[in-house]
């Protein structure tokens, strides 16, 4: 019996062993099968060494200032040594306390959580959270979707094991900190810190770090903006775990638990928000890079950040000044009736200072409403009313630094306005006398006598802050403007503004607004005339003209803007006084076709230009953009070269490597001189079929030999010596022009060296010089006299005003900077009877150029060969005798210079009383 039991026991044990072995084999085979199935579906762990952080596109000025940022994801890479230790502790204590001990899978946590996972699957039909190490979370965020499935979980585990073999623990943790989502489009801890607190991660305190550490679990559903109560509960869980793991002390824990939520949404701080310029850059780069918005590219532009900031400010000041001159159009809107009812019974102490809490700072141009943090201090208003006001004003967009505000009380001489910054301001009538009622573009109501004539309690108005920090009534201007400034030597755009505010009107008037140039086109008519032999001293009649128009079955009578006529007028005077009828007579003399052909050389789009008298005054079907005009005036500024306006300089990838460099034509006078030398030598038959090196050697050797002979004491022939020296110099010049020096060969191998692309010469430099001298007179004594306040003598330019002042221009330049300013309505409405290029865009131009030209020396290009200065009689335009006290100097192309007068002197007795006869004709 005992033997039987022993045998039976052995059989049972044997069976158990066989079953165990079979189970083990099945498990091994299952794991092997799962591995073979999942391994091809899992990315290679080596790829995690080169994980592409989806960093947004950033656009920079030439001096490194940040202009704009594009991209759905806001990610700012940070190294592990830049991360505060308390944040690392918070992450590890919350997400993976055995991170530095496991090999990718925490089997202890996995065992504890497996039943929870299965229970969630049974009760909710999906895989719940849990059992994920930091390595597994990294794998999920980089390589897998967020859908909860067992298969995805197994993939995470397998990939986590591989990642742990490929990367160190610190490398894994650094990747995780930079990649995990925190909500509000923030990816990575540094971006999250700036998004929620407006500060770097290293500047945050313990409660803020704990808040961020708790967000990866539910970044969108439980962040402090969308769900503050859930967020604070999660933050306290993190603090509890940190305290339990001895990462923080009892005192730190109690202080952090009691801390209130201080999170808000902050926009990315830009150095000079420039959305018009940035959008132009983006539109050019979008076809160059498929991952433009996620690849972390840095586009460097030609923008000068100082000029750009001043351009934005100058355009806004100019447009607001125009708007104030035309009156107040009324409130933008009203608060709800229940809020107005509450305001009617509100008692406010009118003795409060003008601005409680200080003046509101101007809003950044690119800041959406949520980007402006509310001021912590607020006026003494009932909490319910305060909340209603804040809600109402938060829905009003901010544009151009003008803050929305609600009128709380109005009296005859003062009004109390509560603004979107939660501050109360007292506006005085005497400080806002501009706010007369707007009637139309040419008429305003009577002088402001009572604030109650303008608005009522509950009205929503705008406020602006003056340079002195004082708060004034304002309104959003309907007028638009554009400014573009560029380097005439290279075409590099230094500043660009396309309107009052990009977020109110994204239409870029600097690049897209094709408008009539008005008198701003006259310099190109006069330049064509100079080429045709017309002289600046020629006399044209400023008198009425009448044309029979068969199409209109009527007569066309062009006139001057002021309806005045000056009779015989010199061409130069006609330009600086902008006389229309003289321009028309010039056109009639040289014909329209040469003018259009000449204008095309300046890069102007002449396809739509009229072939009638409207061409002379920049009207009719003419349509040019501010950038077109800037490019055309650059030809005059640089001495006759056509450059391409451009803003994109180069593009760097996320490693700082330059992957694209723009190359545009630029003025290169040495290049032109070299080309002329080569052409001249070719004409002299110095280039022949013999090998170049041989000819160069023979030519140089021959010159050296003759030169050596010249040094001989026996040689005295000066003419031979001069010929030999000239021959040697010519040979050396040829060698220098056609050989590549060693240092240039080295620079050619340097990838950073970009060869110059010479700009084509399109205008005789003599023509450009004479035209510039005439346009300088526009500043000195003509329609551009307002620019004299800059106290510079190297400025040239031209105003432009179209019929009914639908478009007003000022195009001005120095040899270093050409700037065009346009002001008008987007719908082509007239600006008013008193609007001209001299009083609307010119003040903006002066305002901008005062800063742009600061600390720049005045430049005066040398008078070119072939330009002569002759004294003329200002009345007749003829050459005058040198002793004529009324004579003035005028520039001429040498071939068109007037002949000197035939002076014949006769004397009756040869003594006193001699009489000189002058033949003026």
Burial class of 662 by CB neighbour count within 10 A (0 to 12, 13 to 18, 19+): middle
Q: Which two tokens stand for residue 789?
A: 């306040």
How far apart (Å, rounded) are the C-alpha atoms in residues 577 and 779?
A: 10
CA distance 107 to 112: 9
Distance CA 899, CA 880 (A): 10
Please, are residues 160 and 198 in contact by the beta-carbon 8 Å criterion? no
Beta-carbon count within 10 A of 529 CB = 23
Cα distance between residue 819 and residue 784, in whole Å: 14
CA distance 10 to 7: 5
List C-alpha distances in Å: 423 to 337, 406, 413. 22, 11, 20
Gap between the terminal Cα atoms of the chain: 157
Backbone angles phi, psi at 852, to 5 degrees: -65, -35
* Three-state SS at 920: coil
Q: Determine the Cα–Cα distance for residues 423 and 379; give it in Å rounded to an integer.
A: 6
In Å, the largest CA–CA distance within the chain is 177
Residue 542 forms beta bridges with which residues? Answer: 567
Residues facing 888 on adjacent strands: 872
At 905, give phi and psi (nearest 5°): -110, 135
Report how far residue 271's alpha carbon sits from residue 640's, in angstroms, rounded to the nearest whole number: 36
Question: Are residues 867 and 841 in contact, defined by beta-carbon separation less than 8 angstroms?
Answer: no
Q: In this structure, what are the phi and psi dihedrals at residue 471, rounded to the nearest 5 degrees? A: -95, 130
Q: Active-site residue 95, yes or no?
A: yes
Residues 724, 718: Cα–Cα separation, whole Å: 10
Per DSSP bridges, beta strands 186-187 and 74-75 are: parallel
Rounded to an integer, what distance in angstroms lies between the CA atom of residue 534 and that of residue 893?
Answer: 10
Q: Tokens 């000029």 identify what position?
A: 307
Question: Is there a contact between 403 and 360 (Cβ–Cβ < 8 Å)?
Answer: yes
Position of tokens 């009380």? 409
Rounded Cα–Cα distance for residues 395 and 386 (Å)? 15
CA–CA distance, 891 with 571 (Å, rounded to integer): 12
Examine the residue annotation and report whether 519 is marked as an active-site residue of this protein: yes
Strand partners, 757: 665
Position of tokens 């929305």? 404
Catalytic residue among 143, 495, 519, 649: 519
State both tokens at 184: 């509000």
The answer to whether residues 466 and 472 touch, using CB atoms and an 8 Å cutoff, is yes
d(CA 800, CA 802): 7
Catalytic residue among 95, 310, 365, 421: 95
* Phi, psi values for residue 523, rounded to 5°: -55, -30
3-state secondary structure of 744: helix
Q: β-strands 181-183, 648-652: how paired?
A: unpaired
Active site residue ranges: 95, 519
């Amino acid at each position: 019996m005992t033997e039987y039991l022993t045998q039976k026991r052995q059989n049972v044990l044997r069976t158990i062993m066989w079953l165990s072995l079979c189970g083990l084999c099945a498990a091994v085979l299952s794991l092997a099968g799962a591995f073979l199935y999942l391994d091809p579906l899992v990315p290679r762990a080596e790829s995690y060494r080169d994980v592409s952080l989806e960093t947004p596109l950033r656009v920079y000025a030439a001096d490194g200032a940040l202009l704009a940022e594009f991209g759905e994801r806001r990610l700012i890479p940070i190294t592990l040594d830049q991360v505060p230790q308390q944040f690392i502790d918070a992450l590890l204590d919350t997400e993976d306390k055995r991170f530095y001990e496991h090999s990718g899978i925490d089997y202890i946590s996995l065992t504890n959580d497996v039943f929870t996972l299965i229970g969630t699957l049974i009760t909710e039909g999906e895989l719940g959270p849990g059992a994920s190490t930091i390595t597994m979370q990294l794998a999920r965020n980089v390589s897998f979707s967020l859908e909860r499935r067992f298969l995805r979980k197994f993939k995470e585990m397998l990939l986590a094991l591989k990642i742990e073999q490929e990367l160190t623990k610190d490398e894994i943790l650094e990747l995780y900190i930079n990649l995990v989502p925190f909500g509000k489009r923030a990816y990575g801890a540094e971006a999250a810190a700036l998004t929620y607190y407006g500060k770097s991660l290293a500047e945050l305190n313990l409660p803020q770090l704990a808040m961020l550490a708790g967000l990866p679990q539910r970044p969108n559903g439980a962040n402090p903006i969308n769900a503050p109560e859930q967020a604070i509960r999660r933050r306290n869980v993190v603090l509890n775990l940190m305290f339990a793991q001895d990462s923080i002390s009892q005192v730190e824990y109690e202080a952090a638990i009691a801390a209130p939520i201080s999170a808000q949404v902050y926009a990315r701080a830009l150095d000079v928000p420039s959305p018009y310029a940035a959008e132009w850059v983006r539109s050019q780069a979008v076809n160059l890079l498929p991952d433009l918005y996620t690849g972390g590219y840095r586009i460097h532009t030609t923008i000068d950040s100082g000029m750009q900031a001043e351009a934005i400010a100058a355009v806004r000041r100019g447009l607001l000044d125009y708007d104030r001159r035309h009156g107040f159009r009324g409130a933008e809107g009203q608060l709800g009736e229940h809020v107005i009812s509450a305001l009617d019974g509100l008692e406010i102490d009118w003795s409060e200072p003008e601005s409680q809490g200080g003046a509101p700072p101007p809003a950044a141009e690119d800041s959406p409403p949520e980007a402006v943090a509310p001021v912590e201090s607020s006026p003494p208003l009932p909490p319910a009313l305060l909340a209603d006001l804040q809600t109402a004003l938060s829905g009003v967009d901010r544009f151009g630094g003008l803050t929305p505000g609600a009128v709380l009380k109005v009296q005859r001489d003062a009004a109390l306005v509560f603004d979107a910054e939660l501050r109360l301001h007292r506006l005085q009538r005497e400080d806002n006398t501009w706010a007369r009622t707007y009637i139309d573009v040419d008429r305003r109501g009577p002088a402001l006598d009572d604030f109650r004539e303008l608005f009522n309690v509950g009205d929503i108005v705008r406020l602006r802050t003056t340079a002195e920090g004082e708060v004034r009534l304002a309104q959003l201007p309907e007028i638009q403007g554009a400014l573009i400034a560029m380097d005439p030597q290279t075409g590099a755009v230094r500043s660009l503004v396309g309107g009052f505010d990009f977020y109110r009107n994204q239409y870029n008037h600097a690049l897209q607004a094709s408008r009539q140039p008005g008198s701003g086109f006259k310099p190109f008519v006069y330049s064509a005339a100079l080429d045709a032999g017309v002289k600046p001293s020629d006399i044209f009649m400023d008198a009425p003209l009448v044309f029979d128009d068969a199409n209109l079955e009527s007569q066309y009578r062009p006139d001057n803007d002021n309806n005045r006529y000056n009779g015989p007028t010199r061409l130069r005077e006609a330009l600086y006084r902008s006389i229309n009828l003289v321009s028309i007579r010039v056109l009639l003399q040289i014909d329209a076709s040469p003018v259009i052909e000449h204008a095309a050389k300046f890069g102007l789009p002449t396809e739509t230009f009229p072939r009638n008298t409207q061409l002379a005054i920049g009207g009719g079907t003419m349509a040019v953009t501010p950038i077109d005009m800037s490019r055309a005036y650059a030809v005059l500024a640089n001495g006759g070269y056509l450059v391409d306006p451009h803003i994109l300089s180069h593009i760097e990838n996320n490693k700082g490597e330059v992957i694209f460099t723009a190359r545009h034509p630029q003025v290169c006078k040495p290049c032109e001189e070299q080309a002329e030398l080569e052409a001249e030598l070719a004409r002299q038959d110095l280039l022949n079929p013999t090998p170049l090196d041989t000819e160069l050697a023979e030519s140089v050797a021959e010159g050296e030999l003759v030169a050596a002979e010249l040094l001989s004491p026996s040689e005295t022939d000066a003419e031979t010596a001069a010929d030999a020296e000239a021959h040697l110099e010519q040979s050396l010049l040829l060698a220098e022009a056609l050989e590549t020096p060693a240092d240039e060969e080295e620079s050619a191998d340097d990838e950073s060296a970009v060869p110059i692309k010479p700009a084509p010469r399109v205008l005789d430099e003599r023509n450009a010089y004479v035209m510039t001298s005439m346009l300088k007179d526009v500043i000195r004594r003509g329609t551009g006299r307002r620019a004299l306040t800059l106290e510079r003598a190297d400025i040239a330019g031209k105003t432009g005003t179209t019929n009914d002042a639908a478009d007003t221009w000022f195009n001005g330049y120095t040899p270093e900077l050409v700037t065009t300013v346009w002001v008008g309505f987007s719908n082509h409405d007239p600006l008013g009877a008193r609007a001209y290029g001299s009083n609307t865009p010119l003040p903006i131009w002066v305002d901008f150029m005062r800063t742009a030209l600061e600390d720049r020396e005045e430049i005066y290009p040398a008078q070119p060969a072939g330009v002569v200065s002759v004294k003329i009689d200002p009345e007749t335009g003829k050459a005058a005798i040198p002793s004529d006290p009324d004579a003035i100097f005028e520039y001429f192309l040498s071939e068109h210079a007037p002949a000197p007068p035939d002076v014949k002197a006769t004397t009756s007795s040869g003594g006193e009383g001699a009489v000189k006869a002058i033949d003026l004709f």
